[in-house]
A and B are shown apart, each in its own frame.
Chain A
């Protein structure tokens, strides 16, 4: 019986291909509908994944085991995490700010290797008769270790520079490049921020993270004054070198902060928690993208249905002949379904190949990727479309009265 089954499938496919080759243009155009649908779905997934990879890379460029103290409870896991907290994120930015006392209190906890308060402000930086808008970041000397910022020329500012409120800065690579053309040239020069003169003591290596590359890093105590008159910080970053101490240290940090703030006024999160939240957001974005792309698949499916109806009418006589020699309704139904599925899957595979080629090109600029899921989705969706949109025409063929079918001219 096994041989018969193979013969059956062979006959189905042989019949399908015989018809496809007879109507090459029509077959191609019909399959093209599915090709475009699959192409758009796979590309959208690839770009969505790419965006996610890109952001993950940005986070991974931060130091390991980074714990961030932030206002609000946007990322707190105990609150359920993820999307449910998106609403509170809006308010958190307008919530509390931290001060130097908080930083000093946290600094007393053991097992923290690096700790810096973080002040952030956007501003105009002038130097070498150029002006450039960038981010001014106030931090202590630990920032360089915490954020994996390597110095290309010169040196980072020191602990003493922070204490003495030295007017020294480290320039991000792109910032130095914008002002001095050759980033190395910036070393030893002066720049002005808010009419205050700073000396460039170091220039950072290119990091690939626009936030850091366009930044001017200033000792945080130096910002106290015109840049940061309230002496506040938006967050405090801690680096813990031993991974198994992270949970314990986090708890200690919370205990310290709870003395001053309410439970939902701040959060102590690891970067992995933020990543999880971002990944959840991207899962939703991806789903929306796929839903949009699916509209074109739907249109492609309707194209297949249309052509299959035409095919059934055209081949009424063939149906009659097959019925006369012993084909059951089911046999006829299977034959046309097999054709619809073959057409749809062919279109899907073509779409997948095109998408792969496009993604290979995009990868030069952007970490887009095609994963196994896209491939499975392609086959599942295009077979489902073949069945879904092929079933009605196939049923019409199966239900043709044999005697009328055989007399059909």
Chain B
């Protein structure tokens, strides 16, 4: 479903070259639940953004369903981000001036092709499933962190993506709420068959996934299954 072939991502800090991601090759298959484990500054987030097409590799190839995306235009990449990937962030990254429902529906605004579902209907369905229907008209800064993260997950799921990228999804939550979010992700993987890549520095979180990729100084140092 998604392949990385010898991907490098290099930054220039003054005269110095920093390899945030160095020679990483990955093959992610449908319905996988993988964690990318690494310390802060290990390059795991850069790797996630590369997978999420928010960042372009300095060299190497990224193939989405067999298609090389390194040569695609901004418009084409945006289309893939819009319907192929769903992002979940540590900071939730909801837009506070819009209601919960509006936030969840936002990806539909950027759909370039006619949708085969009613975004509002689907958003309400997701809210109902997450037990948050009574919060649909709230603004994100008026609900709890766990609720915000569930809204973010609902937003990520709106376009029925094949891949969910979660960047430290429990990092800003207490352990009980974090557990609930992880249970929810697990359920999405099992029941809905969504491929999930979870980025974390926390071994206990990583241990919840079926497969873990360990990354250090931008390099892939090990895989645990």
Q: Decide: A18 and B97 in contact? CB cutoff 8 A.
A: yes
The one of B55, B75, B81 that contacts A325, using a Cβ cutoff of 8 Å: B81
Q: Which residues, 382 to 409 on A, are CB-close (under 8 Å) to B? A: 402-403, 406
- Which of A86-94, A196-204, A226-234, A327-335 is the contact stretch? A327-335
Given contacts A8-B109, A331-B110, contact A326 B82 (CB under 8 A): yes
Q: How far is the CB of A80 from chain B (nearest CB, A)?
A: 56
Nearest chain A CB to B205 CB, angstrom units: 21
Among residues 14 to 29 in chain A, which have CB atoms less than 8 Å away from a CB atom of chain B?
14-15, 18-19, 22
Per-position binary interface string of chain A over residues 236-274, scored 1 when its CB falls under 8 Å from any chain B CB and 0 otherwise: 000000000000000000000000000000000000000
A11 touches B109 (CB 8 A): yes
Q: Which of A8, A317, A330, A403 is close to B55, meaning CB atoms less than 8 Å apart?
A: A403
Q: Does B3 contact A (CB under 8 A)?
A: no
Residues of B within 8 A of A221 (CB): none
Q: Is B18 an interface residue (CB 8 A)?
A: no
B87 within 8 A of A: yes
- Asked if B74 CB lies within 8 Å of chain A CBs, one says yes
Name the one of A7, A18, A328, A403 contacting B49, with C-beta atoms under 8 angstroms.
A403
Q: Is A323 interfacial (CB 8 A cutoff)?
A: yes
> At the interface, yes or no: B79 with Cβ under 8 Å from chain A?
yes
Nearest residue, chain B, Cβ from A398: B74
B193 at the interface (CB under 8 A from A): no
**Which residues on A sit within 8 Å (CB–CB) of B106?**
11, 322, 325
B114 within 8 A of A: yes
Q: How far is the CA of A320 from the CA of B102 in the complex (A)?
A: 17
Q: Write the A89-127 contact mask toward B (1 if CB under 8 angstroms, else 0).
A: 000000000000000000000000000000000000000
Residue of A nearest to B73 (CB): A328
User: Which chain A residues lie closer than 8 Å to B52 at the CB level?
Assistant: 324
Cross-chain contact of B95 among A1, A8, A321, A323 (Cβ < 8 A): A321
Q: Are A322 and B110 in contact, CB atoms less than 8 angstroms apart?
A: yes
The answer to the question of B150 belonging to the interface, with a C-beta cut-off of 8 Å to chain A, is no
State whether A326 touches B95 (Cβ < 8 A): no
Q: What does the 1/0 interface line of A302-343 toward B look like (CB < 8 Å)?
A: 000000000000000110111111111111000000000000
Complex interface bits, B89-114 against A, C-beta within 8 A gives 1, otherwise 0: 10001110110001000110111001
Known A18-B98, A317-B93, A403-B54; judge A326-B74 contact (CB<8 A): no
- Chain A contact residues (Cβ within 8 angstroms of B): what range? 20 to 34
Q: Knowing A324-B52, A330-B75, say if A1 contacts B97 (CB, 8 Å).
A: no
B78 lies within 8 A of chain A by Cβ: yes
Cβ–Cβ < 8 Å partners of A328 in chain B? 74-75, 78, 110
Question: In the assembled complex, which residues on chain B have CB atoms less than 8 Å from the CB atom of A14?
Answer: 98, 102
B83 in contact (CB, < 8 A): yes
CB pair A318 B155 closer than 8 Å: no
A1 to B111, CA, bound (A): 11
> Of A317, A329, A406, which is within 8 A of B54 by CB?
A406
Closest Cβ of chain A to B160, distance in Å, is 13
Do B49 and A327 have beta carbons less than 8 Å apart?
Answer: no
| Contact partners of A317 in chain B: CB under 8 A | 93
A324 / chain B contacts, CB cutoff of 8 Å = 52, 54, 81, 87, 93
B94 (CB) vs chain A CBs: closest residue: A321
The 4 closest A-B pairs by CB, nearest first: A326-B82, A18-B97, A326-B110, A328-B78
Interface residues of A (CB under 8 A from B): 1, 4, 7-8, 11, 14-15, 18-19, 22, 317-318, 320-331, 402-403, 406
| B-to-A contact residues, CB < 8 Å | 46, 49, 52, 54-55, 74-75, 78-79, 81-83, 87, 89, 93-95, 97-98, 102, 106-107, 109-111, 114, 155, 159
Subset of 12 A-B contacts with CB under 8 Å: A18-B97, A19-B97, A318-B95, A323-B81, A324-B52, A325-B87, A326-B82, A326-B83, A327-B110, A329-B75, A402-B55, A406-B93
